Chains A and B, each alone.
Chain A
Amino acid sequence: MLLVLTVSNGLHFLVAWEVFAVCGYFLITLDGNKRAVRTAGWLYLATSHAGTLCLCVFFGLLAVKTGGWELGPLRGDASLAPLFWLALAGFGIKAGIFPLHIWLPSAHANAPSHVSALMSGVAIKMGVYGIVRFSGWLPVPAAAGWVVMALGATSALLGIAFALAQNDFKRLLAYCSVENIGIIMIGIGGALLARSHGDAAWGRLALAGALLHVWNHGAFKALLFFGAGSVLHATGTREMSRLGGLWQRMPWTAGLFALGAVAVVGLPPLNGFVSEWLIYLGLFDAVAGKQASAWVAMPAAILLGLAGALALATFAKAGAMIFLGAARTKSAALAHECGNWMRGPMLALAGICLGLGLVPTLVWPALTSAAGAWQPVQSGGLSDCGNGEADGQRAGYPHHSGPGIVPAAVIGLTIGETHAAKPSAGGAPAMAEVPLATLGWVQLGLAGLMAAAGTLLWRKVMANNLRRGPTWDCGYAAPAARMQYTSGSFAGLASAWFSWILRPLRTMRRVHGHFPAEAIYQERVPETVLDMVILPLAARGMQVSAAVRRLQHGHLSFYILYVVVALAALASLVLLENVP
């Protein structure tokens, strides 16, 4: 995988990419004796190769147009722009943007949990990396920003809607990855839009947010998958409706999962909030700029808010179903805490989440240099130097610039003139300041206050005498674990709003008659895009192929007949050509 990041030759890139994709297949199918795992691995392999096909065509055409496999900044050549769509499709499959995400839920759910953590945390980011790398180097079509942002907003909203409706907690986490990739894509789309409007200040913000979110998502999603893995290890089931009350047996896992949940929902004082905040700032600036790009930034901001609120519902559900309340089955009641080797990595990742949240200025120099490398400041003649990173440094992105401020000096100097020419972008250079340091202090203060208030209240309660009793179920004498809300009933209200796309499959048998049989209610949310679009299409393709396949029946005499007919046809073609 590292190879993909370091090569600068198109052919080598393709080979490295393929090796990386195939390794992914073997990692997913580590438990290859289960049917579901093999199916998931096969689906992954097929979609991954569809993506690689796009990339083959992309690099091939690139090589034909530029006359070599060497990769490098090629901004000047506008004829390369349409190639961006190929790259978007190829890398988009890997990243799991919404309509292309079909492999992602089953692969993440069926892979061993540490592999899921690796795939969700790092592997799908390679798709994001590809999009960022090639959109930085190549000219992009004018519509690219709009499309990427729209795709991102769709992914964010629908990904989290699917996540909310899941009952399998690893599938839930996988769909949540689709949401987070959507958030990242919103940021990248903002950057592309800003570039096509020659108005880089808010684009840089959005890009910085997106890149930071790549890191953050890697940290908290890996943490959540490790938590999920330890629950799976302890109970042997992935169904949330069979769990509950696990905090008593697994307090460490429960606490760390809760921390990861706060981070993934994007709540202060953890890291998820910092990156979402940066993306929001970019979008708000875009809207306040009142240019054409505001038309797409405005719905994106609102959809991002919607996705955030749905994420809150999703992770409240996941945490509550797995860890809170009473155990719903015996296996949940007999769970055991994970060992030190499983807890260590979770603690480390939780530390990263906390650290990035409380001291966000730590990563700011890295972010600005990356954003600078992606889009060198247009002071002329820089885009032809070989390596993107050198661009950023040569463009004078001051690594020592006061943390918490977008290198405002640079933007003010070089982009400022373009702004001055456009009165509609009113005061954008001043807007480019990001008080990241202030946000860091706010987060720190918030965390400190929370710790203090929590301790104070705990002490007060202890001093006042704490008694234990059964849950007060409004006077009902014998509350039972089965009376709790289940994962399906928790999601019911909000996911009903998305039933047009979720298409839940229901099996229901009501109680009726004098001696009623068992009543049944089952609900399952399928992978709609796969089951209702791709598979029917594939079945149609198989029908056609099966019809064509009848030509291959193994009778030698007929094959000779094919050859004779083909020869005759060719001969007649040649003869007819020569007649006039």
Chain B
Amino acid sequence: MKLLLDLILRIDCWLLLAPLLPGIINKVKAWVAGRRGPPVLQLYYDLARLWKKGVVMSTLASPAFVILPALTWVALLSAAMLMPLGPLGAGLTFRGDALVLLYLLALGRFCTVWAAMETGSAFEGMGTVREVSYAVLAEAALIAAVLSLSVQSGSIALATMLGPPLGAGAVLLAAGLFIILLAENCRVPFDDPNTHLELAMIHEAMVLDHSGPPLAAILHGASMKLLLFAVLLVQAVLPIGQLQPLAAAAVLAAGVLGVTVAVGLVESLWARFAFRRVPLLLTTAFLLCLFALLVAWKGGPA
């Protein structure tokens, strides 16, 4: 019974809190620009509205076009269940769950990409190509980051990997993971979620043809992914495992809020990069994670 309650609480936490993040980012951007901006809860209103709407589907697309967003959403939710939440711990923890998490993200990507290609649109093709190509570099950086956490803690289970303090490599890892967060969630230097110039987009270009409930699933999934990466970043860098439960929860929440505000600030202060410079930035992220790995290797207890 307690287990069930815990599970429901955890799912609610991910489902209900995730759409807050894009709202906060938009608020920060509006604040920097001196505007009032949309309400923080805007995404909730959007989701509720989309859920009631009808769907227009391309004549070229198969029924999978409607189903695949649900699969992406499930993959992301499952990944979120594996991610420990500070004092709550993970919904399920076992050896090697870090790799399952990475591959669940890849599964989500595959489903999104497949649905995008269903439409036969050149714009979706463009977004897809960028997504899968940049994912190659992002994947290398993520594996290096997970390796460095694993070397540091001597474990491959996320719950124990994210506990101990990281020492000197923390700064490197934080920078690397932050860049990965921006890339994986298609935030500003890589992609502009606000743009209406389709040529410049990655993620938005892939979901151009979606509408109604599937679009709601996609938007909600994207916000969960953002929360997932923010939680990963905070727990990878801060020694949350050593605090009292309440303090840990507070630090985690504050950390996620900080990361969100930082994303908003980056988006307000930077312009999107030219596409040929994107691989450079991702390689930088990879190198940062690699150096974090080497530091963890040489610095930790032998």
Contact = CB atoms under 8 A, between A and B. Distances in A.
B140 A320 contact: no
Contact of A485 (B57, B77, B107, B129): B129
A469 B128 contact: no
Given A288-B150, A301-B143, A325-B117, A473 B106 contact: no
Contacts of A453: 70-71, 73-74
B38 interface: no
Contacts of B213: 457, 460-461, 464
A284 B119 contact: no
Contacts of A312: 106, 109-110, 113, 132, 135
B42 interface: no
| Count class of interface residues, chain B | 35 or more
Contact of B106 (A265, A449, A494): A265
Most buried by A among B102, B110, B135, B300: B110
A451 B228 CA distance: 23
B114 interface: yes
A256 interface: no
Contacts of A431: 95, 155
Interface residues of A, number: 84
A450 B53 contact: no
Interface string A428-461: 0001011100110010011001100110111011
B62 to A, nearest CB: 5
Interface in A158-196: none
Nearest to B152: A288
Contact of B136 (A304, A309, A326, A479): A309
A312 to B, nearest CB: 6
Contacts of A427: 154
Contacts of B61: 471
A473 B100 contact: no
B274 to A, nearest CB: 14
Contact of B56 (A439, A458, A467, A485): A467
Interface in B179-201: 198
Contact of A324 (B78, B107, B120): B120
Which of A244, A433, A446 has the largest count of B CB atoms less than 10 A from its CB? A446
B295 to A, nearest CB: 13
A400 to B, nearest CB: 22
A309 B120 CA distance: 23
Nearest to B95: A435
B60 A471 contact: yes
A489 interface: yes
B158 interface: no
A280 B156 CA distance: 10
A461 B55 contact: yes
B123 interface: yes
B103 interface: yes
Interface string A251-268: 100100010001001111
Contact of A309 (B64, B139, B198, B214): B139
B273 interface: no
Contact of A449 (B58, B74, B129, B212): B74
A218 interface: no
A92 interface: no
B83 interface: no
Given A302-B147, A313-B133, A320-B128, A456 B139 contact: no
A431 B57 CA distance: 49
Contact of B118 (A310, A325, A439, A492): A325
Contact of B67 (A306, A434, A457, A489): A457
Contacts of A320: 113-114, 117, 128
B172 interface: no
A427 B153 CA distance: 12
Interface string B133-171: 101101110111001001100111000000000000000
A248 B59 CA distance: 11
A277 B57 contact: no
B203 to A, nearest CB: 15
A467 B66 CA distance: 12
Contact of A310 (B53, B56, B136): B136
Interface string B264-302: 000000000000000100000000000001000100101
B232 to A, nearest CB: 16
A445 B78 CA distance: 9
B43 interface: no
B224 to A, nearest CB: 13
B100 A298 contact: no
A345 interface: no
Contact of B114 (A248, A319, A434, A492): A319
B103 A473 contact: no
B273 to A, nearest CB: 15
Given A277-B100, A424-B302, A466-B54, A316 B110 contact: yes
A316 B139 contact: no
B253 interface: no
A251 B62 CA distance: 9
Interface string A317-351: 10110001110000000000000000000000000
B136 to A, nearest CB: 4
Contact of B122 (A309, A313, A317, A473): A473
A308 interface: yes
A388 interface: no
B136 A446 contact: no
Contacts of B64: 258
Nearest to B279: A497
Contacts of B53: 464
Nearest to B62: A247
B130 interface: yes
Interface in A42-63: none
B59 A457 contact: no
Given A267-B106, A465-B55, A471-B120, A316 B66 contact: no
Q: Which of the listed residues B106, B130, B214 has the most CB atoms from chain A within 10 Å of its own CB?
A: B106
Given A457-B214, A484-B125, A493-B133, A470 B67 contact: no
A280 B208 CA distance: 36
A505 interface: no
Contacts of A467: 54-57
A254 B52 CA distance: 31
A300 B212 CA distance: 43
Given A467-B56, A494-B132, A281 B198 contact: no
B37 interface: no
Looking at B78, B122, B217, which has the most chain A CB atoms within 10 Å of its CB? Answer: B122
B11 to A, nearest CB: 11
Contacts of A305: 102, 139-140, 142-143
Given A288-B151, A298-B147, A324-B114, A446 B74 contact: yes
Given A267-B107, A442-B78, A461-B214, 17 more contacts: A266-B103, A277-B96, A288-B154, A290-B297, A324-B114, A326-B60, A439-B94, A442-B92, A457-B70, A458-B67, A464-B212, A464-B213, A469-B57, A469-B59, A471-B58, A473-B123, A484-B122
Going nearest first, the 9 A-B pairs with the smallest beta carbon separation are A485-B125, A325-B120, A320-B117, A305-B143, A313-B132, A309-B139, A457-B70, A465-B54, A435-B94
